[in-house]
Amino acid sequence: AQTIHQWPVAEIKAVGSPLSLGCTIKGKSSPNLYWYWQATGGTLQQLFYSITVGQVESVVQLNLSASRPKDDQFILSTEKLLLSHSGFYLCAWRRTDNQDTQYFGPGTRLLVL
């Protein structure tokens, strides 16, 4: 069975500080991976997607970057946090067979002060 983990569970960070959020998926080789951001009370906004190691595509510009250093790992980061970065960050993987289903991780709650 596939499992998806995100770390940390929650963070409180200062404006201007760096950030690194991680996501790993076990039990699935070469998954399509996604990062989403959900502002409090807001919709889900897709940030990045990656279909293979070392390749990341940006969907929206929010002063964030992403990398996929390993087949099962997806990292979201920034060198300088903004207040607007607060929210809920979700990693997801997608089955690439006919099921076309996304599975979301447990998420990371970020509060920027």
Partner 1 sequence: GDSVTQTEGLVTLTEGLPVMLNCTYQTIYSNPFLFWYVQHLNESPRLLLKSFTDNKRTEHQGFHATLHKSSSSFHLQKSSAQLSDSALYYCALRNTGNYKYVFGAGTRLKVIA
Query: Footprint of partner 1 on this chain (CB under 8 A)?
Result: 32, 34, 42-46, 49, 51, 57, 59, 90, 100-107
- Quote the least distance from Cβ 79 to partner 1, whole Å: 26
Query: Measured from the CB atom, is 81 or 90 closer to partner 1?
Result: 90
Provide the 10 A C-beta neighbour count for residue 101.
10
Contact 112/80 with Cβ under 8 angstroms?
no
Query: Measured from the CB atom, is 38 or 73 closer to partner 1?
Result: 38
CA pair distance 78, 106, nearest whole angstrom: 21
CA pair distance 108, 89, nearest whole angstrom: 5
**Residue 69 structure tokens:** 């250093």
Query: Measured from the CB atom, is 59 or 111 closer to partner 1?
Result: 59
Provide the phi-psi class of 27: left if phi over 0, else alpha when psi is between -120 and 50, else beta.
Answer: left
- Quote the least distance from Cβ 106 to partner 1, whole Å: 6
- Quote the least distance from Cβ 17 to partner 1, whole Å: 26
- Quote the least distance from Cβ 105 to partner 1, whole Å: 6
